[in-house]
Each structure stands twice: as structure tokens, then as C-alpha cells.
Amino acid sequence: MAVEPLIFELSQPERRAVGFPEPDVPETPLPAGLRRDGLDWPEVGELDVIRHYTRLSQKNHAIDINIYPLGSCTMKYNPKINEAVARYPGFAEIHPYQDPSTVQGALELMCELQAMLAEISGFADVTLQPAAGAHGELTGVLIIRAYHRDQGATGRTKILVPDSAHGTNPATATMAGFDVVTIPSDRRGNVDLEKLRALVGSDTAGLMITNPNTLGLWDEHIEEIVDLVHAAGGLVYNDGANFNAILGVARPADLGIDVMHFNLHKTFSTPHGGGGPGSGPVGVRADLAEYLPGPRIREVNETGISRYEWFQPARSIGRVHSFHGNFGMHVRAYCYIRMHGAAGLRQVSEDAVLNANYLRVGLQERYDLPYDRTCMHEVVFSGNRQKANGVRTLDIAKRLLDFGVHPPTVYFPLIVPEAMMIEPTETESKETLDYFIAAMREIADEAEHSPEIVTGAPHRTEFKRLDEVSANRHPNLRWLPPVEASSRAKEAAAAD
Ligand SMILES: *Cc1c(COP(=O)(O)O)cnc(C)c1O
């Protein structure tokens, strides 16, 4: 084609997408200091803007396009009704500085969501303040720290973390000022009980366990693990990001867990990716509730009519988020839970586990399965067999893009070489799962007979392989006026 398609820089002087009426009030210039002149903004018409963003969206992958089996991330379908409800003016247009008497409906929703999360998990109380899973972890571990401090237990300086835990767990424990002690896994992918017995003691503040763990496996000794830590005076934190596997089937608090975070953006279908906003509520056993971040919401009923008010818990660790957390996410999660009901939530988990096991069985002849057990909501393969032909897991991931499929999580968990962590979620149909299996099998064939197809992938995407070093060292994440962009690029090149 001799004609270049219109791609990115579309600006034309004086082009406008909107027209304003003549002002009917006197013009008042912005005060000096608030005003900048010479902003080099793109000048485009309305249709140009629409096409620009639509084109960009088509270069990306999304759950609304095809399966997105990114293990550990639970990229499930976000029902559109959640979005409609979150946009109700009574939810979207309120302000946290409003007097509580004017936002009683919003407060009631938060109070009910806390109660529903408590019921599903078995915990006595829940805070909605944290903005993400890792943020919930920090909140939970700060609560554990405050609890030990109040017990006068200053010698409890260590947090035990199994090597099958999510990477955020040791990072959180370190941020909260603890020393991390790693516990290895046994051959079935459970926490090694002998090693745990040897390492738990009077210096243990707690254990942070991810269960189901990052191998997609339920720890077969979870109750023994909890007992061992409790017997030594420690508390048990459960990373609840994998809660999608056990809704309505097991309640973490019933297993003796003391503190857990939820990922509303994984389990309860609030959207994620691209950095948020997320929501990571934390549940605690009864005697830890007074440590939860404040202000907290409560229902009062003196007159026969409920009202909702804020209060500060006695020993609160303080705020962990401005205002009251990401309220729009609370609305979406509430909608999802109410829409499914108790039986529906259990069905979510049963289908998530069924789908993952369907993939496990469909692929285990062609890919190494390091832990050959019934899995939970995700399954971890190794690309070791393909690596023998010079095809790495990264190549397999890139080749999947040619099939219009988002790759699984790769090279995580770290304890599996050439790991591929696949989480189909409950919302995928049998036909989609069969398509994914067929694509993966075809890639396994290619890896054997014509590996260069895989190592050269992707072939059909808009962009081929990125130069990952430059992408990391000089990330180009936002639009700059062309002049500025080219001078930045020159600086970056000079710096290399
Ligand atoms: C996603 C995830 C986290 C971190 O949650 P964020 O919301 O991304 O901070 C922690 N643990 C596990 C097991 C996860 O999958």
C-alpha cells in the first residue's frame, strides 16, 4: 500500500471536537500561577477521538475479546450490570465529605457488603478500606503486629512464608518490619510439615499462607499447619486472592485462620488490570476487630429504624486509605454477590475448579505437569519438555497470541521451572476451553516439528516481540507532544 494509514498523530490546527456557546457571564481570567500558556495539546475532531481510542482498544487483549487465562489474576468476566449499577447517580455522584445522613444508602451497602463477606469467609468482622490485595496483606500484617505488641510479645519478629506463597506475601512481611523465614514445599506441593515444625517457635509472629497456593493446590494439611502456628503463639494470615476456588465450600475462619484479605477484583468480578482501582477487604477473628483501620461503619437502631454511622475502633491501626476505600468496587462486588446468591457463588467455585481440571486433563499428555494432583481453580504446567527442543515458555506464550488468546502467567510460581500457570475461570464455555486446548496442543506439535514457528512468534499481532530491555528501561507510557517526545527519545538514546 502506497497510502499510509492514519495512525497516531492526528492533530490539525484549530480542529475541535466540541463547541461551546457564547458565555452568558462575564469572562474572568484564571489567577496567575494557575494558568499555563502554550499547551501543545492535540487538536482533533470528535470522530478522530472516537476512532483513535477504538483503534487503540483493538490492539489490546481483553476478557471481552477472548479467554484470558492469566493464572493467579482471575481475569473473569465482569458482568455489565455491575457497571450500570456503579454508575447510578446515588453511588457515582456522592462525596465522602457529605454528611452521613445524606448518604445512608451508600453506607448501608458498605455495611451489608462487610456482613456478606464475613458470612462467606466465616470471619467476625471485615474492613473495606484497603485498595488491593497487597494492601490488604499489609493491613492484616500490621494488625498482627499490633496484636503482639499489646500482648507484650516483642520477641516475635519472624513471619513464616511457604515458598508456594504469592510474592507479595514475603514483600508485605518485610514492609511491616518482620524477618521472613521461607518454608519449603513437599513433593505433593503442600507445606513441608517437618520443616515447619523445625522453624516455628517463640519468635514466630505468624505464618502467611496462600491457600489454595500458587501451584493451584489445596494444602492437604491446612488444619495441622494452623494448629502448629497457634501452639507456638503465632497468628495465621491467609492470602485469600484464590478464594474463587472455595466459595460456599470452605470458610477460612472455620479452618482456624485469624486474618485474611479478599480480592474483590478477582473473586467478586470487579474489573482489574491496568493498575486498578481494586479493592482488598480484610476479615479478622472477633478479638482482632478492634485493630481494624478506622473509621468503620456500623448500623445503629435505637428507634426501630436503622441508620448507619462512622466510629473509630478502640485500638485501630489507623487509616490505610483516604476516605473509605474504593467505593465503586464495593458497589460492583455487592451487585455480583446479590446477583448470584449463596448457591450461585458455590456454583462459581465448582465451575472454576471444573474448568481448570478440564484443562489439566486436556493438556497433561503434551506438557509436563510437575504436581500431578487434582487442582483447584488453576493448574501449573512446565515447559521443560518443549525447552529440550529450544522452545521456551516465553515462546509458547508469544505463539498463543497468534491464536487470539491471552497467554497464561509464565515463569511463576518460581518453584516450577518454565512455569505456565493457567486459570480459565468459571465463565469460559466448553467450546472456548476446547479451543484453548487445541491451540496449546498445536503449539506442542510445532515445538517438536517446526520450533522456528514458535520461537519467531507472534506472527499475526500488530506488534511483534518487544525489545524488553528498552521497554523496561525507557517505558513510554503516555502521550507527549511530538517535539517533546523526539527530544526525550534523543536523551534516552544518548543515555545508553
Ligand atoms: C493477585 C494476588 C495478590 C495481590 O493482589 P493485588 O490486588 O494485585 O495487590 C496476592 N496474592 C495472590 C495469591 C494473588 O493472586
Q: What is the DSSP letter of 324?
A: T
Closest-lying ligand 1 atom to the alpha carbon of residue 278: 7
pLDDT digits (tens, 9 = 90+) for 421-469: 999 999 999 999 999 999 999 999 999 999 999 999 999 998 889 888 9
Q: What is the mean pLDDT of residues 109-113?
A: 98
How far is the C-alpha of 157 from the C-alpha of 153, rounded, in Å? 9
Q: What is the mean pLDDT of residues 104-127?
A: 98
| Of residues 42, 37, 66, 40, the one with CA closest to residue 53 | 42
Q: Report CA(84)–ligand 1 centroid distance (Å).
A: 26
Pocket test for ligand 1, best of 163, 263, 279, 326 (most atoms within 8 A of CB): 263
Q: Report CA(134)–ligand 1 centroid distance (Å).
A: 6
Pocket test for ligand 1, best of 163, 239, 244, 261 (most atoms within 8 A of CB): 239
Q: Report CA(358)–ligand 1 centroid distance (Å).
A: 24
pLDDT digits (tens, 9 = 90+) for 53-69: 998 888 888 899 999 99
Pocket of ligand 1 (CB under 6 A): 72, 132-134, 166, 168, 210, 239, 241-242, 263, 278, 280
| Exposed e or buried b per residue across 97-108, where buried means at least 16 C-beta atoms within 10 angstroms of its C-beta | eeeeeebeebbe
Closest residue by CA, ligand 1 atom 3: 133
How far is the C-alpha of 218 from the C-alpha of 220, rounded, in Å? 6
Q: Report CA(156)–ligand 1 centroid distance (Å).
A: 26
Q: Residue 2: which pLDDT band, with cuts at 50, 70 and 90?
A: low
User: Beta 235-239 vs 307-311: how paired, if at all?
Assistant: unpaired
Grid cell for residue 21: 456557546
> What HEC string does the chain produce?
CCCCCCCCCCCCCCCCCCCCCCCCCCCCCCCCCCCCCCCCCCCCCHHHHHHHHHHHHHCCCCCCCCCCCECCCCCCCCCHHHHHHHCCHHHHCCCCCCCHHHCHHHHHHHHHHHHHHHHHHCCCEEECCCCCHHHHHHHHHHHHHHHHHHCCCCCCCEEEEECCCCCHHHHHHHHCCCEEEEECECCCCCECHHHHHHHCCCCEEEEEEECCCCCCCCCCCHHHHHHHHHHCCCEEEEEHHHHHHCCCCCCHHHHCCCEEECCHHHHCCCCCCCCCCCCCCEEECHHHHHHCCCCEEEEECCCCCCEEEEECCCCCCCCCCCCCCCHHHHHHHHHHHHHHHHHHHHHHHHHHHHHHHHHHHHHCCCCECCCCCCCCCCEEEECHHHHCCCCCHHHHHHHHHHCCCCCCEECCCCCCCCEEEECCCCCCCHHHHHHHHHHHHHHHHHHHHCHHHHHCCCCCCCCCCCCHHHHHHCCCCCCCCHHHHHHHHHHHHHHC
Give pLDDT, residue 414. 94
With cell 491496568, the residue in question is 274
Give pLDDT, residue 199. 98
**Would you give the distance in Å from CA 293 to the centre of its chain?**
21
Give pLDDT, residue 472. 87
Would the pLDDT of 186 be above 80? yes
Q: Report CA(435)–ligand 1 centroid distance (Å).
A: 28
**Are 216 and 421 contacting, i.e. CB atoms less than 8 angstroms apart?**
yes
Closest residue by CA, ligand 1 atom 2: 241
Pocket test for ligand 1, best of 166, 213, 320 (most atoms within 8 A of CB): 166
Q: Report CA(307)–ligand 1 centroid distance (Å).
A: 34
Angle, helix 133-150 to helix 168-175, in steps of 10 degrees:
40
Q: Residue 211: which pLDDT band, with cuts at 50, 70 and 90?
A: very high
**For the chain, what is the mean pLDDT?**
94
Give pLDDT, residue 6. 67
Closest-lying ligand 1 atom to the alpha carbon of residue 74: 15
Closest-lying ligand 1 atom to the alpha carbon of residue 134: 9
Closest-lying ligand 1 atom to the alpha carbon of residue 72: 15
Pocket test for ligand 1, best of 75, 135, 168 (most atoms within 8 A of CB): 168
DSSP, collapsed to helix, strand or coil, labels residue 192 as coil
Q: Where are the domains of the chain?
A: 81-338, 350-468
Q: Report CA(191)–ligand 1 centroid distance (Å).
A: 20
Would the pLDDT of 1 be above 60? no
| Of residues 9, 8, 58, 50, the one with CA closest to residue 462 | 58
Torsion sign across C-alpha atoms 343, 348, 353, 357: positive
Instruction: Name the pTM for this structure.
Output: 0.92
Q: Report CA(210)–ligand 1 centroid distance (Å).
A: 10
**Are 199 and 183 contacting, i.e. CB atoms less than 8 angstroms apart?**
yes
In this structure, which topology does domain 350-468 adopt according to CATH?
A: Aspartate Aminotransferase, domain 1 (3.90.1150)
Give pLDDT, residue 277. 87
Burial of 483 (0-12, 13-18, 19+ CB in 10 A): exposed
Closest residue by CA, ligand 1 atom 6: 133
Closest-lying ligand 1 atom to the alpha carbon of residue 242: 13
Closest-lying ligand 1 atom to the alpha carbon of residue 137: 10
Q: Report CA(261)–ligand 1 centroid distance (Å).
A: 9
Closest-lying ligand 1 atom to the alpha carbon of residue 214: 13
User: Which residues on neighbouring strands pair with residue 126, listed in sequence order?
Assistant: 283
Which phi and psi angles does 408 have, rounded to 5°? -70, 175
Give pLDDT, residue 316. 98
Q: Residue 370: which pLDDT band, with cuts at 50, 70 and 90?
A: very high
Radius of gyration of the chain (CA): 26
CB atoms within 10 A of CB 278: 23
* Cα 335–Cα 341–Cα 344 angle in degrees, nearest 5: 110
Q: Residue 196: which pLDDT band, with cuts at 50, 70 and 90?
A: very high
Closest-lying ligand 1 atom to the alpha carbon of residue 266: 1
CB contact set of 294 (below 8 Å; sequence gap of 6+): 310, 311, 312, 313, 316, 318, 319
Architecture of the structural domain at 81-338? 3-Layer(aba) Sandwich (3.40)
How far is the C-alpha of 181 from the C-alpha of 165, rounded, in Å? 12
